[in-house]
């Protein structure tokens, strides 16, 4: 998945789930300030953090994300999405 393809499916996910992107690409400076892993997908523009108008069940969020080729995990303040193959490439660790 290219950054352009990811941007397109991330937007489609947000529209379908009525979610708003609150984080995307991060500069090296901000990523270091936040303590992100050097291979964090946000540094490559390959992750979004999403908040919802109405929080969906985790199962529903994961099912929808998978349909778009995305991996999703839930944090206390947001859901994080990234391409489902990002971690398989050994590029990533993120919270």
Give the binding site for Zn ion (CB under 5 A).
47, 49, 80
CA–CA dist 94, 80 (Å, integer): 9
Provide, rounded to whole angstroms, the least separation between the CB of residue 43 and Zn ion.
11
**Residue closer to Zn ion, measured from CB, 49 or 91:** 49
12 vs 44 by CB, closer to Zn ion: 44
CB of 49 to Zn ion, least distance (A): 4
Residue closer to Zn ion, measured from CB, 49 or 88: 49
- DSSP 3-state assignment of 25? coil
Element (H, E) at 82: strand 79-83
Q: Is 50 helix (H, G, I), strand (E, B) or coil?
A: strand
Least separation, in Å, of the C-beta of 64 and Zn ion?
17
Question: 13: part of which helix (H) or strand (E)?
Answer: helix 3-17
């Amino acid at each position: 998945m290219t950054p352009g393809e990811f941007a397109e499916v991330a937007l489609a996910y947000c529209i379908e789930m009525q979610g708003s992107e609150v984080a995307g690409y991060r500069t090296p400076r901000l990523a270091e300030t936040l303590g992100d892993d050097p291979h964090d997908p946000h540094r490559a523009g390959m992750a979004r953090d999403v908040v919802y108008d109405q929080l969906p069940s985790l199962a529903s969020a994961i099912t929808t994300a998978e349909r778009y080729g995305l991996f999703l995990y839930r944090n206390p303040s947001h859901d994080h999405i990234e391409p489902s193959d990002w971690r398989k490439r050994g590029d990533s660790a993120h919270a």
